[in-house]
Structure 1
Amino acid sequence: MEKLNPTPGSIVTCRRRQWVVLPSKLEDVIRLRPLSGNEDEIAGIYRELGLEAIESATFPLPQGDRVQDHCAALLLMDAARLLLRSGAGPFRCLGRLSLRPRPYQVVPLLMALRLETVRLLIADDVGIGKTIESGLIARELLDRGEAKRLVVLCPPHLCDQWQQELREKFHIDAIVVRSGTASKLERGVPNGSHIFSYYRHLIVSLDYAKAERRRASFITHCPDLVIVDEAHTCTRPGSKSTSQQQRHQLIEQIAKKQDRHVLLLTATPHSGIEESFLSLLGLLQSEFEHLSLDRLTKEERDKLASHFVQRRRADVKLWLGNETPFPERESQEQPYKLSKEYRELFEDVYNFARGLVKTTTQEMSYAQRRGRYWSALALIRCVMSSPAAAVATLSKQIGSRGAGVGSREIEDSPLDEELMSSYVYDPTEQEQSVDAQPTVAVEQGQQTYRDADRRQLKAFIQAAEKLRGDRDLKLQSCIAIVESLLKEGMNPILWCRYIATANYVADALKQKLEKKGSQIRVIAITGELSEDEREIRLEELKSYPQRVLVATDCLSEGVNLQSHFSAVLHYDLPWNPNRLEQREGRIDRYGQPVSKVKSCLLYGQDNPVDGAVLEVLIRKAVQIHKTLGITVPVPMDSTTVSEAVFKSLFDRATDAVQLSLLDLLEDEDSAVEQVHKSWDKAVEREKASRTRFAQRTIKPEDVERELIDSDEILGNERDVERFVQSACSSLNLGLIEKKQGWLLPTPPEFLQPLLSNGRAGVPPDISCVGNKSRLLTFTTPALEGVEYVGRNHPLVEALARYILEDALENAKDPKAARCGFTTTDAVLKRTTLLLLRLRHLLDSHKHQTLLAEECAVVGFTGSPSDPIWLSPQEAMSLLQQATPVSDVPQAMKQMELQELLNRITELEPDLELFARERSHELSQSHRRVRAITKEGQIQVKPQLPMDILGVYILQPGQRKRT
Structure 2
Amino acid sequence: MTTTATEFMPGNLVRARGREWVVQSDTRLADGASALRLRPLGGSDDDVITLLPELEEFSPVEPATFEKPNPAQAGNHTAALLLRDALRLKLRAGAGPFRSFGNIAVEPRAYQLVPLLMALRLPTVRLLIGDDVGIGKTIEASLIVRELMDRGEIQRVAVLCPPHLVEQWQGELQQRFNLPAVALTAASASRLERQLPHGVGLFDHHPVIVVSLDYIKSERHREHFLSIAPECIVVDEAHTCSASGAGKQLRFELLQRLAANADRHLLLLTATPHSGDEVAFFNLLSLLNPTFAELQHRTSTADPLREQLALHFVQRRRKDIVEWQTATQDGHGFPRRMKAEVTYRLSGAWGSFFDDVQAYCRELAENVERSGDAGGARLIWYATLALLRCVASSPAAAAKALNTRLEGHLGLGEDGDDAEEDAALADLQDGTAEDLSSLDLEPAAQLQAETGAQRLQALIATAERLSGAAGDPKLAALVAHIADLLKEGYAPVVFCRYVATANYVAAELRKHFPKAMVDAVTGELVPEERRERVDRMGEADKETGRVLVATDCLSEGINLQHLFTAVVHYDLAWNPTRHEQREGRVDRYGQRATEVRCTMLYGQDNPVDGFVLKVILRKGDAIQKELGVLVPMPEDRPRINQALVKAALMRRSTTNSSQQAFDFGEPEQLLAPLQTRWQDALDKARSNRTVFAQRAIRPAEVLPEWQKQQEALGSQADVQRFLVSACARLNAPLEAHRGQHRLHPQHLPEPLRLRLADEGLVPEGSNKPLLLDTAELHRSHPLVSVLAEYLIETSLQGESTLAARSAATVTASVDRVTTVVLLRLRHQLAYQRKQLSFQMLAEECVALAIRGRQNPEWLTGPEAARLLESTPAGNLPREAAEREVTKALEALQAETPRLNELANQRAAELLQDHERVRKATERRGGGQHHVQPCLPVDVVGVYVLLPDSV
Q: What's the TM-score bracket when you normalise by the shorter of the two chains?
A: 0.7 to 0.9
Counterpart Cα distance in 1 of 2:764 and 2:718: 20
Displacement after TM superposition at 1:901 (Å): 4.8
* Structure 1 residues 287 and 376: alpha-carbon distance in aligned structure 2, compared to 1, 3 A threshold: farther
Which range moves more in the overlay, 379-388 or 528-537? 379-388
Which range moves more in the overlay, 895-904 or 139-148? 895-904
The 3-state SS of whatever aligns with 1:24 is: strand
Q: Which residue of structure 1 aligns with residue 635 of structure 2?
A: 637
Aligned 8 A contact 1:342 1:467 in 2 = no
Displacement after TM superposition at 1:7 (Å): 1.8
* Structure 1 residues 256 and 755: alpha-carbon distance in aligned structure 2, compared to 1, 3 A threshold: farther
**2:428 is aligned with 1:424:** yes
Q: Which residue of structure 1 aligns with residue 932 of structure 2?
A: 942
* Structure 1 residues 679 and 768: alpha-carbon distance in aligned structure 2, compared to 1, 3 A threshold: farther
Counterpart Cα distance in 2 of 1:420 and 1:696: 43
Q: TM-score, normalised by structure 2?
A: 0.88
Counterpart Cα distance in 1 of 2:719 and 2:480: 45
The 3-state SS of whatever aligns with 2:804 is: coil
| Residue of 362, 366, 374 corresponding to 1:351 | 362
Counterpart Cα distance in 1 of 2:639 and 2:584: 22
What residue identity is the alignment partner of 2:283? Answer: S
Aligned 8 A contact 1:613 1:645 in 2 = no
| Residue of 309, 318, 328 corresponding to 2:314 | 309
Aligned 8 A contact 1:311 1:690 in 2 = no
Q: Which residue of structure 1 aligns with residue 260 of structure 2?
A: 256
Aligned 8 A contact 2:27 2:37 in 1 = no
Aligned 8 A contact 1:149 1:223 in 2 = yes
* Structure 1 residues 604 and 292: alpha-carbon distance in aligned structure 2, compared to 1, 3 A threshold: same
Q: Give the 5 Å matches for 1:411-450.
A: 416-437=420-441, 439=443, 450=449
* Structure 1 residues 820 and 195: alpha-carbon distance in aligned structure 2, compared to 1, 3 A threshold: same
Aligned 8 A contact 2:736 2:742 in 1 = yes
Counterpart Cα distance in 2 of 1:290 and 1:438: 46
| Residue of 109, 113, 125 corresponding to 1:118 | 125
Counterpart Cα distance in 1 of 2:129 and 2:371: 48
Q: Give the 5 Å matches for 1:460-475.
A: 460-468=459-467, 469-470=469-470, 472-475=472-475
What residue identity is the alignment partner of 1:485? Answer: L
What residue identity is the alignment partner of 1:952? Answer: V
Displacement after TM superposition at 1:583 (Å): 0.9
Aligned 8 A contact 1:491 1:566 in 2 = yes
Q: Which residue of structure 2 aligns with residue 129 of structure 1?
A: 136
**2:854 is aligned with 1:854:** no
Q: Deviations over 1:95-119 (max 9, x none)?
A: 2233332211111111222222222
Counterpart Cα distance in 2 of 1:713 and 1:354: 72
What residue identity is the alignment partner of 1:629? Answer: G
**2:613 is aligned with 1:625:** no
The 3-state SS of whatever aligns with 2:597 is: strand
Q: Which residue of structure 2 aligns with residue 785 of structure 1?
A: none
Q: Deviations over 1:801-836 (max 9, x none)?
A: 11111122123x432222334455544554443321
Q: Which residue of structure 2 aligns with residue 761 of structure 1?
A: none
Q: Which residue of structure 2 aligns with residue 17 of structure 1?
A: 19
Q: Which residue of structure 1 aligns with residue 206 of structure 2?
A: 199
* Structure 1 residues 433 and 679: alpha-carbon distance in aligned structure 2, compared to 1, 3 A threshold: farther
| Residue of 850, 869, 876 corresponding to 1:887 | 876
Which range moves more in the overlay, 312-321 or 844-853? 844-853
Q: Which residue of structure 2 aligns with residue 538 of structure 1?
A: 534
| Residue of 213, 236, 249 corresponding to 2:243 | 236
Q: Give the 5 Å matches for 1:744-755.
A: 744-746=743-745, 748=748, 749-755=750-756
The 3-state SS of whatever aligns with 1:147 is: coil
Q: Give the 5 Å matches for 1:18-57.
A: 18-26=20-28, 28-46=34-52, 53-57=60-64
What residue identity is the alignment partner of 1:203? Answer: V
* Structure 1 residues 633 and 360: alpha-carbon distance in aligned structure 2, compared to 1, 3 A threshold: farther
Aligned 8 A contact 2:849 2:859 in 1 = yes
* Structure 1 residues 413 and 665: alpha-carbon distance in aligned structure 2, compared to 1, 3 A threshold: closer
Displacement after TM superposition at 1:220 (Å): 2.9
Aligned 8 A contact 2:9 2:26 in 1 = no
**2:725 is aligned with 1:726:** yes
What residue identity is the alignment partner of 1:295? Answer: T
Q: Which residue of structure 2 aligns with residue 818 of structure 1?
A: 805
Q: Which residue of structure 2 aligns with residue 226 of structure 1?
A: 233
**2:910 is aligned with 1:907:** no
Displacement after TM superposition at 1:789 (Å): 2.2
* Structure 1 residues 769 and 621: alpha-carbon distance in aligned structure 2, compared to 1, 3 A threshold: farther
Displacement after TM superposition at 1:212 (Å): 4.7
**2:251 is aligned with 1:265:** no
What residue identity is the alignment partner of 2:170? Answer: Q
Aligned 8 A contact 2:317 2:628 in 1 = yes
Q: Give the 5 Å matches for 1:443-842.
A: 450-452=449-451, 457-468=456-467, 469-470=469-470, 472-514=472-514, 519-545=515-541, 546-634=545-633, 636-637=634-635, 639=637, 642-643=640-641, 645-646=643-644, 649=647, 664-665=664-665, 670-736=669-735, 740=739, 742-746=741-745, 748=748, 749-758=750-759, 764=760, 772-774=768-770, 776=772, 782=775, 788-811=776-799, 813-824=800-811, 826-842=813-829
Aligned 8 A contact 1:824 1:956 in 2 = yes
What residue identity is the alignment partner of 1:202? Answer: I
Give structure 2 stretches of 5+ with no counterpart: none
Counterpart Cα distance in 2 of 1:853 and 1:679: 55
Displacement after TM superposition at 1:413 (Å): 5.4
What residue identity is the alignment partner of 1:817? Answer: A
What residue identity is the alignment partner of 2:239? Answer: H
Give structure 1 stretches of 5+ with no counterpart: 759-763, 783-787
| Residue of 70, 76, 79 corresponding to 1:72 | 79
The total of aligned residue pairs comes to 919
* Structure 1 residues 673 and 541: alpha-carbon distance in aligned structure 2, compared to 1, 3 A threshold: same
Counterpart Cα distance in 2 of 1:767 and 1:616: 57
The 3-state SS of whatever aligns with 1:585 is: helix
Counterpart Cα distance in 1 of 2:868 and 2:406: 82
**2:904 is aligned with 1:916:** yes
* Structure 1 residues 81 and 281: alpha-carbon distance in aligned structure 2, compared to 1, 3 A threshold: same
Q: Deviations over 1:521-546 (max 9, x none)?
A: 33221112111221222233332232
* Structure 1 residues 657 and 734: alpha-carbon distance in aligned structure 2, compared to 1, 3 A threshold: closer
Aligned 8 A contact 1:305 1:693 in 2 = yes
Counterpart Cα distance in 2 of 1:23 and 1:137: 22
Displacement after TM superposition at 1:693 (Å): 4.4
What residue identity is the alignment partner of 1:751? Answer: L
What residue identity is the alignment partner of 1:11? Answer: L
* Structure 1 residues 528 and 722: alpha-carbon distance in aligned structure 2, compared to 1, 3 A threshold: closer
Counterpart Cα distance in 1 of 2:516 and 2:311: 50
Q: Deviations over 1:649-671 (max 9, x none)?
A: 49xx8878899997644799x34
Aligned 8 A contact 1:94 1:710 in 2 = yes
Counterpart Cα distance in 2 of 1:162 and 1:314: 26
Q: Which residue of structure 2 aligns with residue 8 of structure 1?
A: 10
Counterpart Cα distance in 2 of 1:356 and 1:16: 93
Aligned 8 A contact 2:490 2:564 in 1 = yes
Q: Which residue of structure 2 aligns with residue 952 of structure 1?
A: 942
Q: Deviations over 1:297-318 (max 9, x none)?
A: 5233323332222211111011
The 3-state SS of whatever aligns with 2:585 is: coil
Q: Deviations over 1:174-228 (max 9, x none)?
A: 2334455556555543233354542122233333344555333333333323322
What residue identity is the alignment partner of 1:21? Answer: V
Aligned 8 A contact 2:888 2:942 in 1 = no
Aligned 8 A contact 1:208 1:214 in 2 = yes
**2:396 is aligned with 1:388:** yes
Displacement after TM superposition at 1:555 (Å): 0.7
Counterpart Cα distance in 1 of 2:878 and 2:506: 72
What residue identity is the alignment partner of 1:333? Answer: E
* Structure 1 residues 248 and 464: alpha-carbon distance in aligned structure 2, compared to 1, 3 A threshold: farther
* Structure 1 residues 318 and 389: alpha-carbon distance in aligned structure 2, compared to 1, 3 A threshold: same
Aligned 8 A contact 1:832 1:859 in 2 = yes
